[in-house]
Structure 1
Amino acid sequence: MTKKSKKNKKNKKSRKRFWPVILICLIFAGLFAFAGAYINNYPLSKDIKLVATRPKALKAKKTLSQKDIWGYPFAKCYTKQIKYLSGQRYGKTDICRRTYPKKSYFHDGWDFGWSEVGNKAAVLAVHPGTVKKIGYCTGLGYYVWVVSSDGYVEIYQEGFASRSDITVKAGQKVKLGDKLGRLTASHLHLGVTKTSSDYITKHGQPYKNYATDNGTWLNPMTLIQNSLKKQQETKEYNEKVASYNAKAASYNSTLASKKAKLKSEESKHLYHYVKNFIK
């Protein structure tokens, strides 16, 4: 046999081996093409629109920082509309506060009378902080001096007839609404300032510049009412977020379940289709 004859014989054998491979590939290609067409016509394909939808992202709730957390010093202030007299309010009043070295009509805090908030009513912390000192001095009477970590200072004065009417101790941490004592004098004077070298006297009492409108003292009612408004807005927002998140979580759960079901059903039908096709 010549070399040419041997080569032709070898090529014929190679072609014989090649065609079965081509045929098998064509069979499987056709199989998957028909399977794909079958699946596309499968009834669960109606859920494709839902399955293709993305899960809903959950929203985060809002939180307030300490500087935004303020409240009234008496529970009745939340439920009773009180008309405070000029002399009770912060700022310029119609009552002379000091005559020396010159007359001053500036009121450095806010007065809450027992006839308005209730005699022996619980005195509540208006802002989170730590009790710095409990003391007594002329003009303030017995007082509770609280310093907050965000730089604010709160002085509760003139409202306690005796030391026993104060229930907190120096060094004690208080939260908004914690009881400090009970109102046994005619009124509680609430003063608020910021920590600085000018808010205390050289004797360590929290009342320097008490009759001077030099920016040392702040309006307690403005801080409280602005905070309550912000707290209410935050509460309402978080309620809406909670409602949205509950619905979104339910939607996401349904979506995940349908996706899993669709995947499972399609896998089963593909298996049976291929099995029947091969038979």
Structure 2
Amino acid sequence: MSSKKSTKKNQKNKKQKNNKKWRTILTILVFIGLFAFAGFYIHSYPVADDIKLVATQPKALKAKKKVAEKDIWGYPFAKCYTKKIKYLSGQRYGQTDICRRTYPKKSYFHDGWDFGWSEVGNKAAVLAVHPGTVKKIAYVQGLDYYVWVVSDDGYVEIYQEAFLNRSDISVKVGQKLKLGQKIGRLTDSHLHLGITKTSKDYITKKGHPYKNYYKNNGTWLNPMTIITTSLEKQAEVKEYNQKADSYNIKATSYNKNLAAKKAKLKAEERKHLYHYVKGFIK
């Protein structure tokens, strides 16, 4: 009888030991699983989208363009901007159908551009076509009163045959002019605009700015070509700057949102387990 009791007790003890063993194994397996999951979880952080976000660079803003002063020109009359004017041959620069000089030989060369009062308006304001300083105001037969302007970039602008009286001129010698500033008012039949450069031989022995007016030798330049080329360039720069402004507004908004997302991600990372154990797992 005592032998049977002893056997049962041994079996019970053996069963308890086995149960304890399996509980230990199970506990170890659970811990291993938890550590494996934690390791995988930590190693897989941050996720690909977060890594991509951190690596994303803000958009660079576009710088605005400027037109150099030497390239800033405009029309001498406001109506030239709004009215399509058909200029006659005699008004245009270069070879024309009007004889300008007969002795010692005929010349049909026109050294500037004429703007008639019938096209731009009688007593219309004569405007500076380029920034510069008034060098001289004088009267000479054939030119009437003229305004001689010298620009810092080496260009020279002559406004002549437009002013019947000195009182029709609003500027003074030594005065600095801005583009579009009023020089005077048109009281004669037309304005003759001549453009040359300080490096050219354009001053007569008597000190008037019209030497070589009959020669197509490069002394006098085409005013309309200079003005229209400048206006096209100004329009291109204006269009570019408008697009740049629009782009910069969108880019600034994008950069602001990107910075906010990165700040939020950084704040979340500080709360994440990865933040505390990343030093041990690398």
Structure 1 residue aligned with 2:68, among 65, 68, 78? Answer: 65
1:56 matched to 2:62: no
User: What corresponds to 1:201 in structure 2?
Assistant: 204
- Measured in 2, the distance between the counterparts of 1:62 and 1:126 equals 21
Contact 1:51–1:258, Cα closer than 8 Å, also in 2: no
Contact 2:269–2:275 (8 Å) recurs in 1:
no
Could you say which residue in structure 1 is the equivalent of 2:88?
A: 85
> Do the aligned partners of 1:146 and 1:154 also contact (CA within 8 Å) in 2?
yes
The answer to whether the Cα contact below 8 Å between 1:39 and 1:45 also exists between their aligned partners in 2 is: no
Shift of 1:170: 0.6
Counterpart residue number, 1:251:
254
What is the letter of the counterpart of residue 231 of structure 2?
L
Tell me which structure has the larger Cα radius of gyration: 2
Residue segments in structure 2 that go unaligned for 5+ positions in a row: 1-33, 278-282
The letter for the 1-side match of 2:226 is L
Counterpart selection for 1:160 from 153, 159, 163: 163
TM-score, normalised with respect to structure 1: 0.81
State percent identity of aligned pairs. Answer: 76
How many angstroms apart in 2 are the aligned matches of 1:154 and 1:270? 76
Q: Do structure 1's residue 211 and structure 2's residue 211 form an aligned pair?
A: no
Residues 255, 205 of structure 1: CA spacing in aligned structure 2 closer, same or farther, 3 A cutoff? Answer: same
SS at match of 1:217: coil
TM-score in terms of structure 2 length: 0.81
* TM-superposition CA deviations, 1:232-268 (whole Å, max 9, x none): 1111111111111111111111111111111011102
Aligned with residue 241 of structure 1, among 244, 256, 277: 244
Q: Is the 8 A contact 1:39 1:266 kept in 2?
A: no
* Count of aligned positions: 243
Could you say which residue in structure 2 is the equivalent of 1:105?
108
Distance 1:197 1:53, change over 3 A: closer
Q: How far, CA to CA, are the matches of 2:274 and 2:201 in structure 1?
A: 84
Instruction: Give the deviation of 1:51 after TM superposition.
Output: 3.3
1:202/1:53 CA distance change after superposition, 3 Å: same
Q: Do the aligned partners of 1:51 and 1:255 also contact (CA within 8 Å) in 2?
A: no
Say which SS state the counterpart of residue 63 (structure 1) adopts. Answer: coil
| Contact 1:35-1:273 at 8 Å conserved across structures | no
Does the 8 A contact of 1:156 with 1:189 survive in 2? yes
Q: Distance in 2 between matches of 1:39 and 1:166?
A: 83
Matched, 1:37 2:60: no
The residue identity in structure 2 corresponding to 1:54 is Q
Whether contact under 8 Å (1:39, 1:270) holds in the other structure is no
Unaligned runs of 5+ in 1: 1-29, 275-279
The AA in structure 1 aligned to 2:121 is G
C-alpha contact 2:65 2:237 (8 A) present in aligned 1: yes
Distance 1:38 1:165 in 2: 86
Tell whether the 8 Å contact from 2:162 to 2:187 is kept in structure 1 after alignment. yes
SS in 1 for 2:272: helix
Instruction: Write the distance in 1 (CA, Å) between the matches of 2:192 and 2:198.
Output: 19
Q: Which amino acid aligns with 1:223?
A: I
Q: Which runs of 4+ in 1 moved over 6 A?
A: 271-274
Answer yes or no: is 1:142 the counterpart of 2:142. Answer: no
Give 1:131's aligned residue: 134
Query: Distance between the aligned counterparts of 1:265 and 1:45, measured in 2?
Result: 15
Distance 1:152 1:36 in 2: 75
Counterpart residue number, 2:187: 184
Give, in angstroms, the shift of residue 39 of structure 1. Answer: 8.2
Distance (Å, rounded) in 2 between the aligned partners of 1:135 and 1:255? 65
Query: What amino acid maps onto 1:231 in structure 2?
Result: Q
Report what 1:15 is aligned to.
Answer: none
| AA at the equivalent of 2:185 | R
Secondary structure of 1:237's aligned partner: helix
